[in-house]
Structure 1
């Protein structure tokens, strides 16, 4: 995404759909909060439902810090959970598209193959609205899903 403005991006986002990676991951009820401090450093918190030990449901709290790259919409995201059983990582992370006020499409690659392609990644469709995407944003988001070859790969989350 060209001309990404991380300050405009700050605030609360509600996940409405996601493409899952391999392993333990937030299942649903995902809410992310992005912040930028006075030095320009972006951080994020997220919470959502997870299932651990095959059948134990709980709410997980995750934290993330971002390292800037030459592309303003690309970050290196280091993340960890509030509890030791939650995953940690240091993933490449992109904001594919956003209008800042209504929708955002995130993509992250957890594991890169030798040829540079992504072996294991995940993606979120976020809305600023807890009720989901507005009808006028749904076509834009669908077109972007086609563009990144993820059409049909997402599942709805509430």
Structure 2
């Protein structure tokens, strides 16, 4: 019983090996990004058979912002890239004020010299970071009439 199973496994191995040689692409990007702040995206490209060009663009209504543009040559590349999110201006969005949220698109293009290997477009929320003021006191709770002491 062991020999037929081993024979079956050996006959299926070349099929599985061929399937794993196809290029695989993964781009991880936050669903919410904040203007004028640094954000991070990560890429993983495996089983590359040739050098590819990666371009990641933030598509807004009137203007596109290129976040990443680079050539990737080696297979199994995993890299996290930091980029600066551009400040949204009222003429780039439907918003009348720069303090509102806006939905934009992230466009990822991976291509070789002669063909497009992957192209994807996803929605991303651009949301201004809210400032939070934290006041720390010397006690968790005060009784009515007690004087509070704040720390710097």
TM-score, length basis structure 1? 0.27
More strand by share: 1
Bigger relative CO (Cα 8 Å, ≥ 6 apart): 1
Based on CA coordinates, which of the two structures has the bigger radius of gyration? 2
